[in-house]
């Protein structure tokens, strides 16, 4: 096959999008015509529908038709990306695609990394996506399932083997799927419960990730062999990267009144049940495959010895198990170990204590097959089960616990009051007094109260959740518990307060050196001020004796797990010399952007990582940064491999943990091939940038000083807008934020406490509102002013930025994302939303500022980057072209419905407003689908 160039690849992708979209939209039009909706069919975009006139609105069913049309566009774009990537690799080799295993290994080899260097790094490489259910997925689970089915039909159609009759059958299948969508309501009429969100995520843990994991491993093995590195080096699963999964659903109680201690306990139990179901199914499948006859090959001694031990252990249950596969010892062995899974069906006296024991038996099985020369069977059949056992264990995914520091202040105040303290207003104490009090308290492991939950509601919730953690640790060990994440960490005392509450819950125990806490505690640094003080906060926290003792305990436990085989790769020497206690620090991309704008937010996050790493080095601790990324640029989103590349040196350390939120979960992981690609980007990128970028820039770097200036200027411009008198009034009128707050797209409220303030509004609906109205303000505002002032004050500095914008990963990532957000703004549409602002003077004042900054940003980006944007970024141009015109009638309709809905509410006509709300929310859903984002 001839090699395909980049431009040819782009062309082929665009042609495929157009052809597949025409096919699906043609099928959809047929469905509408056959169901008696020919009028709506005539309006459809992408199939020659009538041009939409300015201001034209859609009926509710018309809105749904447009919504489905956008979902079909998203589906064909995803499939085109997959197919062109595969075509590009088939023609140009496995190393052609940037960011994946092939190109990463080739780059490492070119940069002088030996096979030995890379082999030493792979087993300690850790990647952990953390799935959350923030209220950002507008589509119902039922609708998502229909879109998955359509995607699979589109992929099925790729095969050239089908006969004309079979293709007609597939066409009818496609139309049936489209008709189901057309006859299904798209929006959430009832607010989903935590249980429903938990069930939705189970689909990924059970049906996607186990299969994607195997594909990821095979891709690495193929890339390794093609790269000409040491042959056969990755034959053992213990040499592969550690992929782990975690979730916040059922553990995140920050402003979420429905995540009670009982919900957390139920979540842990359900995760465990699902993990055992997954392993049980895999063992059943393995049992059917291993029908090797004893008459053909003699079972090795190690297999016979272990079978005797298992038979003895299972006692009376063993004969019946063995009798089902007489003469097939390998099959019998799998039956015996399957009988030891800790389920209700297994004998209690024989159950495995943990997944490490099952993994040890699977390794015996593997070794026995290799001993008889059946290496291929071991690799193809046993290794995937062993890998799943090590990745998912008996817990499936680790559950993080999250709470807000303000809740803890109130909880401790309640405990102090109940224990007789005269000054119980803990939240009002000075930092010095708080730290001194907590350090003194934490010299003892004895709780203040026997039943802290009786002290008050906040104490009951905070301590009750930690009691659930304590029970889980006591009964099932630490695998199911992730990290305690403290939202809005402002000080060292906020973190020490977690230890105090953990003590009340029985999570603090005595050690030889003093009390230790059994659960890892991580700060979440969210605002600009908190990020700027991040180094000092982490330094103070690590200096606490309680922290030092607890980290030492956790590190010892990790090493003990390695020796037991729970984490088989963890005991290997780290190539970066970081075999040290590990502290997690979470970084908030959403609230920092909301607080200070995109340039200052991104730069503060970068500098915070550098400073926190520096503080950790002093204490002999390594840092795992936990990136709280959302689904939009205003909340930290961007191309995965570019994001990893843009992180500062030493920020990765072969360890990457990040949230996957809301609609990004379905976009990245709903379809298997896309999920495989995303995990490969994460793992390969983490390896590459951990090994290649280990030297931080000098603190006095000239370019860093210029970015400091840009950050300061952009922050001033951004905050002058946000804090201007009347801006919140403008925001509420010119965006559908009130409709978003009334939507049913997540179990968690959109505000932390319910106060109608910018500070209380979560970053997700903040960004969602600006996106729906096409302002995209959080992703670009302030950038134009900052660049313009830099050029005016220091032309040489501006030229330096222009010279480095493509060569410095951080600058490239920042400016590219700003340009994407800016390009997504539709001036005609934002004017229509702004027209809803009832006060003309207020409207004119803020629109003058916004439109002025919009023009300024466009002008300065052109000066900085040169060339036309469409020429530099053809994919972005195609994406915008495919959407803008078709989105307009949805925006017109939303504006009209918003005006009517608000008028009803103002007039006190609640019943009429309630009747209108579903139609309004349908436009929210449709626009989110068209933009491929919510919050």
| Tokens, residue 122 | 């792979």
3-state SS, 369-428, equals HHHCCCHHHHHHHHHHHHHHHHHHCCCCCEEEEEEEHHHHHHHHHHHHHHCCCCCCCHHH
Distance CA 688, CA 272 (A): 34
DSSP-derived letter for residue 743 is -
C-alpha 483/C-alpha 275 separation (Å) is 20
Cβ neighbors of 593 (< 8 A, separation 6 or more) are: 601, 634, 635, 636, 763, 767, 778
Q: Which whole-number Å values give the CA distances from 167 to 26, 111, 170, 264, 290, in the listed order?
A: 15, 49, 5, 48, 38
Angle between helices 910-931 and 60-92 (to 10 degrees): 20
Q: 916, 613 in Cβ contact below 8 A?
A: no
Q: Which helix or strand (DSSP H or E) is residue 205 part of? A: none
Please, what is the Cα angle at 547 between 546 and 552, to 5 degrees?
105
510 CB-contact burial (10 Å; exposed 0-12 / middle 13-18 / buried 19+)? exposed
Residue at token pair 């603090």: 508
Name the β-bridge partners of 623: 583
Non-local CB neighbours of 110 within 8 Å, separated by 6+ positions: none
Region class of 484: left (phi > 0), else alpha (psi between -120 and 50), else beta:
beta
> Could you give the angle at which helices 827-834 and 727-734 cross, rounded to 10 degrees?
110
Give the span between the Cα atoms of 147 and 182, in whole angstroms: 12
Apex 712 CA angle, 708 and 713, nearest 5: 120
State the Cα–Cα distance between residues 763 and 771, nearest whole angstrom: 12
**Which residues, in sequence order, are CB contacts of 262 under 8 Å at separation 6+?**
none
- The whole-angstrom distance between residue 859's C-alpha and the CA centroid of its chain comes to 34
- Measure the CA–CA gap between 235 and 905, rounded to whole angstroms: 66
Question: What does DSSP say about strands 508-510 and 515-517: parallel, antiparallel, or unpaired?
Answer: antiparallel
DSSP 873-886: -HHHHHHHHHHHHH
> What's the distance, Cα to Cα, between the start and end of the chain in Å?
43
Residue with tokens 């190393």: 95
**Residues designated as active site:** 134, 594
């Amino acid at each position: 096959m001839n090699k395909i160039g980049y431009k040819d690849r782009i062309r082929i992708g665009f042609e495929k999008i157009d052809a597949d979209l025409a096919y699906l939209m043609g099928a959809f039009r047929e469905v509408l015509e056959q169901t008696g909706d020919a009028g709506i069919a005539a309006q459809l975009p992408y199939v020659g529908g009538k041009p939409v006139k300015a201001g034209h609105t859609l009926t509710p069913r018309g809105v749904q038709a447009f919504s489905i049309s956008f979902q079909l566009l998203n589906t064909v774009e995803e499939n085109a990306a997959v197919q062109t990537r595969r075509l590009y690799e088939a023609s140009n080799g496995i190393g052609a695609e940037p960011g994946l295993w092939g190109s990463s290994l080739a780059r490492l080899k070119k940069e002088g990394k030996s096979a030995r260097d890379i082999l030493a790094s792979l087993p300690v490489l850790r990647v952990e996506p953390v799935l959350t259910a923030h209220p950002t997925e507008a589509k119902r689970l039922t609708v998502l399932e229909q879109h998955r089915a359509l995607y699979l039909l589109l992929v099925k159609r790729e095969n050239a083997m089908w006969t004309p009759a079979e293709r007609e059958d597939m066409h009818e299948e496609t139309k049936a799927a489209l008709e189901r969508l057309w006859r299904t309501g798209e929006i959430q009429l009832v607010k989903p419960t935590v249980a429903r969100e938990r069930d939705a995520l189970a689909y990924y843990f059970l049906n996607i990730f186990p299969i994607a994991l195997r594909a990821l491993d095979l891709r690495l093995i193929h890339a390794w062999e093609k790269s000409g590195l040491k042959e056969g080096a990755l034959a053992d699963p213990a040499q592969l990267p550690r992929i782990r999964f975690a979730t916040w659903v059922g553990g995140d109680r920050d402003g979420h009144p429905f995540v009670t201690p009982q919900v957390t306990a139920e979540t842990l139990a359900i995760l465990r049940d699902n993990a055992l179901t997954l392993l049980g199914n895999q063992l059943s499948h393995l049992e059917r495959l291993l029908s090797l006859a004893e008459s053909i090959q003699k079972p090795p001694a190690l297999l016979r010895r272990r079978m005797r031990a298992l038979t003895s252990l299972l006692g009376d249950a063993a004969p019946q198990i063995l009798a089902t596969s007489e003469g097939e010892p390998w099959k019998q062995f799998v039956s015996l170990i399957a009988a030891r899974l800790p389920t209700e069906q297994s004998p209690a006296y024989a159950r495995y204590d943990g997944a490490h024991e099952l993994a040890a038996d699977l390794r015996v099985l593997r070794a026995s097959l290799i001993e008889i020369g059946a290496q291929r069977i071991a690799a193809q059949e046993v290794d995937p089960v062993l890998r799943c056992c090590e990745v998912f264990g008996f817990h499936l995914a680790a559950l993080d616990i999250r709470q807000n520091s303000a809740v803890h202040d109130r909880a401790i105040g309640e405990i102090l009051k109940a224990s007789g303290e005269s000054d119980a207003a803990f939240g009002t104490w000075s930092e010095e007094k708080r730290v001194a009090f907590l350090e003194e308290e934490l010299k003892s492991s004895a709780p203040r109260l026997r039943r802290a939950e009786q002290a008050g509601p906040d104490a009951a919730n905070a301590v009750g959740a930690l009691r659930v953690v304590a029970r889980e640790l006591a009964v099932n060990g630490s695998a199911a518990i992730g990290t305690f994440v403290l939202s809005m960490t402002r000080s060292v005392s906020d973190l020490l307060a977690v230890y105090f509450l953990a003590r009340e819950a029985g999570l603090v125990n005595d050690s030889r050196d003093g009390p230790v806490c059994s659960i890892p505690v991580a700060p979440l640094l969210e605002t600009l001020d908190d990020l700027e003080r991040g180094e000092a906060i982490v330094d103070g926290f690590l200096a606490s004796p309680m922290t030092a003792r607890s980290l030492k305990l956790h590190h010892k436990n990790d090493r003990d797990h390695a020796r037991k085989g729970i984490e088989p790769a963890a005991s290997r020497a780290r190539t970066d010399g970081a075999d040290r206690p590990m502290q997690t620090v979470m970084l908030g991309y959403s609230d920092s952007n909301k607080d200070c704008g995109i340039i200052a937010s991104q730069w503060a996050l970068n500098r915070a990582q550098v400073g926190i790493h520096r503080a950790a080095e002093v204490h002999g601790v390594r840092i795992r940064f936990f990136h709280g990324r959302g689904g939009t640029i205003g909340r930290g989103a961007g191309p995965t491999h570019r994001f990893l590349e843009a992180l500062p040196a030493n920020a990765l350390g072969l360890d990457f943990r990040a949230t996957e939120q809301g609609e990004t979960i379905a976009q990245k992981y709903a379809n298997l091939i896309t999920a495989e690609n995303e995990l490969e980007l994460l793992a390969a990128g983490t390896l590459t940038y951990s090994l290649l970028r280990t030297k931080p820039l000098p603190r006095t770097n000239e370019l860093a000083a210029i970015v400091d200036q840009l950050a300061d200027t952009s922050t001033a411009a951004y905050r002058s807008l946000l804090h201007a008198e009347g801006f919140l009034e403008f925001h509420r009128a010119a965006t559908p934020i009130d409709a978003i707050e009334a939507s049913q797209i997540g179990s968690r409220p959109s505000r932390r406490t319910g106060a109608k303030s910018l500070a209380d509004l979560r970053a997700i609906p903040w960004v969602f509102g600006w996106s729906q109205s096409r302002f995209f303000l959080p992703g670009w505002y302030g950038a134009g002013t900052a660049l313009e002032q830099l050029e005016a004050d220091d032309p040489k500095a501006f030229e330096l930025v222009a010279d480095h914008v493509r060569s410095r990963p951080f600058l490239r990532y920042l400016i590219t994302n700003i340009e994407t957000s800016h390009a997504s703004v539709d001036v005609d549409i934002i004017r229509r939303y702004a027209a809803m602002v009832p006060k003309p003077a207020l409207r004119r004042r803020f629109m003058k500022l916004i439109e002025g900054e919009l023009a300024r940003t466009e002008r300065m980006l052109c000066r900085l980057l040169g060339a036309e944007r469409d020429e530099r970024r053809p994919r972005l141009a195609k994406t915008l072209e495919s959407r803008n015109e078709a989105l307009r009638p949805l925006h017109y309709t939303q504006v009209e419905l918003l005006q009517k809905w608000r008028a009803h509410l103002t007039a006190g006509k609640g019943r009429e407003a309630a009747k209108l709300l579903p139609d309004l929310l349908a436009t929210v859903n449709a626009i989110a689908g068209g933009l491929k984002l919510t919050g």
